[in-house]
DNA sequence: ACCTAAACCTGGGCGC
DNA sequence: TGCGCCCAGGTTTAGG
């Protein structure tokens, strides 16, 4: 699924395309079941204007003049498409301009639903600031992340601490920082945590600049692939050699997620480095 | 109150 | 060709 760079890319394009437009019809495909009755779409979406497009962590929000929101989490395989389709469309919105917005998903994990403020606020409470939030200071980051007695990769993927970092960008940010994914976060030290903070911001911003990572399903709002996959530091380089030291890259499952690291450049024990 | 493992799904790619 | 397995940008939940 989209991580923060992909979500922010979609958000920006969505804002540009649909702000101020009125929804005139909604269509749901039979093989998609939102958590609520489709009445909510006809009641709170059809006939209403798009007032804003926003996000909470990786959740996309379309604010409507009815006071309700379309909340869409793309999860692993979801995409939003504007005036272009694919074989996995689940929901379609038609605007007064004739433009179309589609929610597409292969694996059925994501959702595209009508939410009210209450549900939105409950959701918000469960998530930390995104890694790119202007008001997430380096002090706050190091305090939140550096206090956990858990592997740093697990901590980075915990969205209630700091949100937006997913598996791709976590792998790459750790490689850039020379940090072993198994290293306990509370053993990293101030300097390493700060380095990690800067590298997370760098790699997320690079992802945005390259319009996201398309390793499989991800496409932007116009159905186009992102480019960040061409710049991966270590993610996806199973059986390949480290571009820094030439050693064979390790691939292991950690918390069920594919984890790539170079045990030379990202030593678990600092003593290994000194030898 | 922790942690992990499995579950939620579909489809693509690989080896045999 | 086909079957079985492994893999996938995430999150939630059940179970120890």
Whether the Cβ atoms of residue A198 and residue A178 lie closer than 8 Å to each other = no
- Nearest nt (C1') from A151 Cα: B3
Is A33 (CB) below 7 Å from strand B? no
Nearest Cα residue to A66 out of A47, A38, A91: A47
pLDDT band, residue A1 (cuts 50/70/90): low
CA-to-CA distance for A259 and A205, rounded, in angstroms?
Answer: 22
- Nearest nt (C1') from A216 Cα: C8
Is A238 (CB) below 7 Å from strand B? no
CA A66 to C1' B9 (Å) is: 33
Is A108 (CB) below 7 Å from strand B? yes
Contacting residues for A136 by C-beta, under 8 A, at least 6 apart: A129, A130, A162
Q: Does A197 score more than 90 pLDDT? A: yes
How confident is the model over A83-101, as pLDDT tens digits? 999 999 999 999 999 999 9
A257 counts as catalytic: yes
pTM metric for this prediction:
0.96
Q: What angle do CA A20, A21, A24 make, to 5 degrees?
A: 145
- Kindly state the average pLDDT of the residues A175-179: 98
Looking at residue A105, its pLDDT comes to 97
- Average model confidence (pLDDT) for chain A? 96
A34 counts as catalytic: no
- Nearest nt (C1') from A214 Cα: C9
CA A91 to C1' B9 (Å) is: 17
Which chain B nucleotides are covered by protein, judged by CB under 7 A?
A: 3-11
- Nearest nt (C1') from A105 Cα: B10
A58 counts as catalytic: yes
Structure tokens at A100: 């179309």
- Kindly state the average pLDDT of the residues A246-259: 95
Report the C-alpha dihedral over residues A211, A214, A218, A219, rounded to 10 degrees. 50
Q: Report percent pLDDT > 90 for chain A.
A: 96
Q: Does A270 score more than 90 pLDDT? A: no
Nearest Cα residue to A72 out of A167, A158, A169, A7: A7
- Kindly state the average pLDDT of the residues A178-206: 97
DSSP string of A161-179, one letter each residue: TSBS--HHHHHHHHHHTT-
- Kindly state the average pLDDT of the residues A19-42: 96
CA-to-CA distance for A145 and A164, rounded, in angstroms?
Answer: 14
- Kindly state the average pLDDT of the residues A194-202: 98
CA A149 to C1' B5 (Å) is: 20
Residue A269: Cβ within 10 Å count: 10
- Kindly state the average pLDDT of the residues A68-72: 98
Q: Does A51 score more than 80 pLDDT? A: yes
CA A177 to C1' C10 (Å) is: 24
Contacting residues for A95 by C-beta, under 8 A, at least 6 apart: A18, A21, A22, A23, A24, A101
- Kindly state the average pLDDT of the residues A116-145: 97
CA A215 to C1' B10 (Å) is: 16
A233 counts as catalytic: no
Structure tokens at A203: 């790699």
Q: Is A187 exposed, middle or buried (0-12, 13-18, 19+ CB in 10 A)?
A: exposed
Looking at residue A269, its pLDDT comes to 78
């Amino acid at each position: 699924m989209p991580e923060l760079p992909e979500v922010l890319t979609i958000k920006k394009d969505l804002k540009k395309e649909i702000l101020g437009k009125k929804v005139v019809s909604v269509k749901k495909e039979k093989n998609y079941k939102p958590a609520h009755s489709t009445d909510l779409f006809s009641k709170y979406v059809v006939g209403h204007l798009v007032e804003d497009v926003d996000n909470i962590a990786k959740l996309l929000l379309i604010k409507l003049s009815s006071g309700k929101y379309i909340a869409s989490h793309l999860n692993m395989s979801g995409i939003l498409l504007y005036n272009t389709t694919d074989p996995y469309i689940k929901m379609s919105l038609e605007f007064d301009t004739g433009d179309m917005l589609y929610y597409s998903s292969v694996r059925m994990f994501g959702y595209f639903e009508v939410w009210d403020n209450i549900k939105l606020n409950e959701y918000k409470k469960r998530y930390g600031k995104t890694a790119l939030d202007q008001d997430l200071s380096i002090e706050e980051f190091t305090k939140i992340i550096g206090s956990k007695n858990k592997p740093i990769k697990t901590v980075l993927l915990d969205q209630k601490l700091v949100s937006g970092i997913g598996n791709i960008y976590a792998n790459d940010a750790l490689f850039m920082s020379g940090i072993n994914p198994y290293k306990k976060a509370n053993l990293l030290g101030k300097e390493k945590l700060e380095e990690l903070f800067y590298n997370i911001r760098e790699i997320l911003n690079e992802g945005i600049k390259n319009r996201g990572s398309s390793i499989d399903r991800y496409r932007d709002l116009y159905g186009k692939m992102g480019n960040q996959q061409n710049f991966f530091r270590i993610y996806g380089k199973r059986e390949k050699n480290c571009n820094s030291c030439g050693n064979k890259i390790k691939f292991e499952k950690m918390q069920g997620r594919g984890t790539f690291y170079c045990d030379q450049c990202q030593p678990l024990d600092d003593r290994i480095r000194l030898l």
